[in-house]
Structure 1
Amino acid sequence: MRYLLLFLILFVSTACYAQTITADELLNKSIAFHNPNNQWENFNGAFKVLMNRPNSSERVSIIKMDLPKQQFSLEVQKDNVTYSYVFDKEECTTSLNGSSEISDEDRKTFRLTCERGKMMKNYYTYLYGLPMKLKDPGTILDSAVQTKTFKGKEYLVLKVNYEEGVGKDVWYFYFDPNTYAMEVYQFYHDQSKNDGEYILLEGLEEINGVKMPKTRAWYYNKDNKYLATDILLQPETK
């Protein structure tokens, strides 16, 4: 009975707080946690991402970003093959095992096109730039702060849509009500079908003053099927 009462007190206090804090305030508090010294806007650094997924070998991605100069590079290492995409503003180059001479067959096999490279650039910049990226133009932040229980924990939740041409999915971002750390995010293509995925975040890695999720575990919304885990690593120092 005592534990039930404690749970009810915590639930009610979290729900009441969600009614008093605005969406903008919650987002700003989370940004202050993850980007305390405003380093993201001038981010110039590198990090590695190790991906593990069922029935597949490990994949290592080395990401370098210089946001002020609009430069980005992604080098992927998998099964003794290395390929890369490099962007200098809108200029794009690709390589395979260190060579820019790539056969049509290899280019198709490894999807070495600038269109694919741009998608990966946007992907890594968005996910590792959260929650700061929720300030980007075209982001529609729902005014209501929700409370949800996810995996047994109470969260303050922001709902986000995007303007046409920016994004089509609906996203939910889950924040710890005490620290404002972002701990879960979830997206749907069509919420009525319960499609899309949710991503559990655990631990933090500080890269150039920005607190990024250490691990991200991906699951389907519809059946909780596990998809993959990303592990963020510091770049190797020479």
Structure 2
Amino acid sequence: MRYLLFGFIVLNSWLGTTQDLTGPQLLEKAISYHDPNSNWKNFNGNMDIIMTTPNSETRRTHLELNLPESYFKSSVRKGTHTVDYIIDKDQCELLLNNSPDISDDSRDSLQITCERANMMKDYYTYLYGLPMKLKDTGTMIDQKVAKRTFKGKEYLVLSVKYDEAVGKDTWYFYFDPNTYKMEVYQFYHDESKNDGEYILLSEEIMVNGIKMPKLRAWYYNKDDKYLGTDDLVQANPLE
């Protein structure tokens, strides 16, 4: 009886905490876990990422990111080619195998365009900047925190939408209820169709004082089909 009473008290205490916690408050707790010293806004470092996908060549990417200087460089190696996408403030530079001389055929077949360069900048700074990037302008945080079981574990879940000019997808971010560590995120283009993907985060690597997920494994929502894994194999601050 004593143990049942203790369990009841603990459960009610946890539920009460969940019910009292708003979406913005949960986000602040998650940011305090991942970026306790608010280092993201001054991030200046590099990262090496290996992406593996079924039935495809391994892709190696070297990133250089300097947020205060609005500088982004992605060097992507796939097969025999290395493509550099550089965004320096509003200027775009593209290189193929260290040369700016790129044929039209190569631009098309290897997707060497400034549009893709900006897309990659947004992609990498968003995903590796989470959950801090959820403070960006245009992000709409649901006030209500949900409790949801995913893959057999209970999470506190943050629902996020965006102003139409920013994005149209609906995102869900899953946080450990004790540490507020981000362990899963999930997005839908149209939730009624169960489309989109979910991403399982595992292990951690410290980058410039920020706890980032080392491994990100991607799956389709509709059938749990495995899509690939990003492995952050090395990260270092830049002086």
TM-score after normalising by structure 1: 0.94
Q: Counterparts in 2 of 1:192-211, with a 5 A limit?
A: 192-211=192-211
Contact 1:14–1:147, Cα closer than 8 Å, also in 2: no
Distance 2:7 2:50 in 1: 37
Q: Counterparts in 2 of 1:42-191, with a 5 A limit?
A: 42-191=42-191
Structure 1 residue 13: Cα displacement: 5.1
Distance 1:150 1:10 in 2: 21
Which whole-Å deviations, capped at 9, do the CAs of 1:138-197 have from their partners, x for residues lacking one? 000000000000000000000000001100000000000111000000000000000000
Q: Secondary structure at the match of 1:234?
A: strand
Return the letter of the residue paired with 2:133: K
Structure 1 residue 15: Cα displacement: 3.6
Structure 1 residue 16: Cα displacement: 3.2
Structure 1 residue 6: Cα displacement: 10
Percent identity between the two aligned chains: 56
Structure 1 residue 14: Cα displacement: 4.2
Distance 1:79 1:7 in 2: 56
Structure 1: gaps (5+ residues)? none
Q: Secondary structure at the match of 2:172?
A: strand
Contact 2:155–2:176, Cα closer than 8 Å, also in 1: yes
Distance 1:91 1:155 in 2: 42
Structure 2: gaps (5+ residues)? none
Alpha carbon RMSD of aligned pairs, Å?
Answer: 2.0
Distance 1:214 1:100 in 2: 33
* Cross-structure match for 2:38: 38
Distance 1:181 1:49 in 2: 21
Return the letter of the residue paired with 2:190: D
Q: Secondary structure at the match of 2:55?
A: coil
Which whole-Å deviations, capped at 9, do the CAs of 1:6-54 have from their partners, x for residues lacking one? 9988766544322011111110011011111111010000001110100
Aligned length: 234
Return the letter of the residue paired with 1:132: M
Distance 2:167 2:132 in 1: 17
Structure 1 residue 210: Cα displacement: 1.1
